[in-house]
Amino acid sequence: MPSAQDETMEEEDEALEGAEADGEEAAGPPEKNTLLDITVVPFEPLVGSAGSEKLAKLKKAIQEKIQPPGNLTVLKEERYSRLVTLTVVFYIWKGPGKANPRSAKELGSLLRPVFDVLQTGDQGLGVVEKDSYVCEVYATKELVESEKEEGYRIIMEEFENEEMLGVLNAVYGKST
C-alpha cells in the first residue's frame, strides 16, 4: 500500500512531466551571470593575512588573467550595483610523502587573501566593494601532482538579492 509520501512524490513527478510535455521547462534555480572565471597557476595559495608583497603578487597574477583588460574596468565600475557568489578552488601541491604542510591549510585562511585582493583597498583589484557584498561562497581544496599545477580557480557570479544590496549600499553610503 503506497504511503502519503509516495503519492505526493508521484504527483510531483506527474506535474513535472506535464510541464515538460507542454514545452515548459521545470522550475530550477535561476541561472547566474558569470562575471569572472580564471585559473591562476602556478601560484602557491596564500593563507591568512598575507603580507602586502605577497598580496601584490596575487593581485598582479589575477589581473593578468582578466581578459580582455577592459573587463577589469567594467567589473570595477559595476561593483556597487551587485552582490556576488564566489567559487574558489585551491589547487594544493601534495608534495613528497604524506605529511606535506601545504595540504593542511585551512579553507578560511586560504579565502582571506582572495577576498583581500578582490575588494577595494590598497592591495585590491576593486571588483568587489567589500567582503559584505560576497553573499555566497563555495570553496574546495584539490591536491595536484606538481608545484606547477598549484594555484587558484576563481569564479565570480552575480548573486540576486535586491533587499540585501539596498541594505549594504545604505550602510556604506553607496547608490546604484
Q: Is residue 81 part of a domain?
A: yes
Q: Which three cell numbers stand for residue 93?
A: 601541491
What is the number of structural domains in the chain?
A: 1
Q: Is residue 135 part of a domain?
A: yes
Q: Is residue 97 part of a domain?
A: yes
Q: Which domain holds residue 56?
A: 34-172
Provide the 10 A C-beta neighbour count for residue 129: 23
Q: Is residue 25 part of a domain?
A: no
C-alpha closest to that of 118 among 85, 93, 90: 85
pLDDT digits (tens, 9 = 90+) for 34-89: 999 999 999 999 998 778 899 999 999 999 999 887 889 888 888 878 999 999 99
Q: Is residue 6 part of a domain?
A: no
- Model pTM? 0.79
pLDDT digits (tens, 9 = 90+) for 128-151: 999 999 999 999 999 999 999 999
Q: Provide the CA 88 distance to its chain's centre, in angstroms.
A: 5
Q: Is residue 133 part of a domain?
A: yes
Instruction: Report the C-alpha gap between 176 and 167 in whole angstroms.
Output: 12
